[in-house]
Amino acid sequence: MSEITSRGPFDYLSELDNISSELENKRGRHIILMIFHDDAFITRDVIDLEFFLEEHDLSSKEGIDVVLHTLGGDADAAYHIGILLQKLAGERELSFIVPRMAKSAGTLLACSGDKIIMTRISELGPVDPQVYVESARTWVSAKVVRDSFGQTLEIFREKVIKELIDVVRRAPGMSEAVNSVIKPFTEAVLSGIPITELGHYDSLINHARKLLIELLSNKMFKRSSIKSEGSAMQQSPNADSVANTLVSEYSYHGKVIHLDEAKKLGLCVEELSDEEKKLASDLYKTARKFFKVIDELIMPMKVVIGRESPITVYHLEHGLVYGPKIEE
């Protein structure tokens, strides 16, 4: 019998707490887990983190390490969480440990720290605006949706409309039949497209850039910010350039920003010691095992019933794990 099938899912949550305690003792800093299943995204429901912070005294150690694993989500929610953690840390050091990935809005969140701690398999990603597509239940790049939508309309215009116009010209009485074809197609295309968000694409770009600049300037680039007498704080050029690159300079949203690439961007990035690296790796492996058990348990619901399991938060002594809901 394999280890995964011989252990209950909640055994892995206990193990995550135990490993977190080891890492906490090793680094002498408070550990906060924020680990997301691939079907779970960063959302506006930040009350879970607020409750966690209220219930735990995180003032006794010299700094805070957030162990973050996520594919991304809502940039505004990530910004809000970043602000909460920055206020919690105050003048203490706030670091984000990324054992595997913190993509998209996860990268934005990681940029709220004084530093990002990575391994050779860690990856960040571009922070170009995302929109939620309800039909797919996922966040996707607004640029990808916009470009795909444009290409679809272009193909439809070039290939379909021309032929239909020719049909109508040859047989005027066919116009009603043509409309019956065009209308369902148009409705099908538009139903899955977040039209309002795409209409404000440039505003979304600027908004994401401003969120990122603020978070970077509050902590990572605080020392290089310039305050002129009688004027408001100006954002540092470093924060500006890093934010602009992450938001606008990558053509592909899935781009891997590895440790060396992150350093070249100007982010403050460090590596873990060998012992710390092993503990961070153990955290990630244990989380993967937990998620694998969950996936096996909810698969019948997906296949037989055709229904997705709702996302819930699992509360640990050292943080929060987000994933499909299962019963104890």
Average pLDDT over residues 54-79: 95
73-101 pLDDT, tens per residue? 999 999 999 999 999 999 999 999 999 99
Is pLDDT of 256 > 50?
A: yes
Is pLDDT of 266 > 90?
A: yes
| pLDDT at residue number 81 | 97
Average pLDDT over residues 167-182: 59
Report percent pLDDT > 90 for the chain. Answer: 59
Q: What is the band of 230 on the pLDDT scale with cuts at 50, 70, 90?
A: very low
43-53 pLDDT, tens per residue? 988 889 999 99
Mean pLDDT across the chain, nearest whole number? 84
pTM: 0.80
If DSSP states are collapsed to H, E and C, what string results for the chain?
CCHHHHCCHHHHHHHHHHHHHHHHHHHCCEEEEEEECCCCCECCCCHHHHHHHHHCCCCCCCEEEEEEEECCECHHHHHHHHHHHHHHHCCCEEEEEECCEECCHHHHHHCCCCEEEECCCCEECCCCCEEEECCCCEEEEHHHHHHHHHHHHHHHHHHHHHHHHHHHHHCHHHHHHHHHHHHHHHHHHHHCCCHHHHHCHHHHHHHHHHHHHHHHHHCCCHHHCEECCCCCEECCHHHHHHHHHHHHCCCCCCCCECHHHHHHHCCCEEECCHHHHHHHHHHHHHHHHHHHHHHHHHHHHHHHHCCCCCEEEEEECCEEEEEECCCC
Is pLDDT of 183 > 60?
A: no
Q: What is the band of 103 on the pLDDT scale with cuts at 50, 70, 90?
A: very high
| pLDDT at residue number 175 | 57
Question: Which CATH topology does 3-126+250-324 take?
Answer: 2-enoyl-CoA Hydratase; Chain A, domain 1 (3.90.226)
Average pLDDT over residues 22-37: 98
107-130 pLDDT, tens per residue? 999 999 999 999 999 999 999 877
Average pLDDT over residues 295-304: 82
Q: What is the band of 102 on the pLDDT scale with cuts at 50, 70, 90?
A: very high
Higher pLDDT residue, 194 or 38?
Answer: 38
| pLDDT at residue number 226 | 46
| pLDDT at residue number 191 | 55
Average pLDDT over residues 27-34: 98
Q: What is the band of 302 on the pLDDT scale with cuts at 50, 70, 90?
A: confident
Average pLDDT over residues 62-80: 96
Domain ranges in the chain are: 3-126+250-324
